Amino acid sequence: MNTKKFLVKHDLKKPNSTSKQFVVPVNENGNYVLKEIEGNKTWDSGRVVFIGIEIDENEVMNRMEKNGKVIQNKPEYKSVLTDYFNLINQFKIGQAVKLIATEQGFSFEQVSVPKRTFGGASN
């Protein structure tokens, strides 16, 4: 499956912060978390962004491996990424979502984020 949407890390404590750090679901000790592709931090929420190009599961796995991540079972993880793509495609660009554990693995639910305000004086 191809997608042009992806999640970047989202800090619920700093909802107006921006990030370019892409996150993917990873099973750690029996629980799914969102893990940075280029780093090692885990997050429980992300923001849906438009990435401008279509990517697929294989490209995501290649980028993960390029950044030192080890994927034990590629066919199984490809299925996880397919689920991830299907789930995030249900949300609009800019929406924040929280990872939720389910019996089948994981899901996302939208979290409210205050509207962004930009500096400048108003009359």
Give tens-digit pLDDT for 8-21. Answer: 998 777 766 667 89
Give tens-digit pLDDT for 9-52. Answer: 987 777 666 678 999 999 988 889 999 999 999 998 999 999 99
27-34 long-range contacts, CB within 8 A, separation 24+: 27/80, 27/105, 31/101, 32/99, 32/101, 32/105, 32/106, 33/99, 34/7, 34/9, 34/99
Give tens-digit pLDDT for 81-111. Answer: 999 999 999 999 999 999 998 888 899 999 9
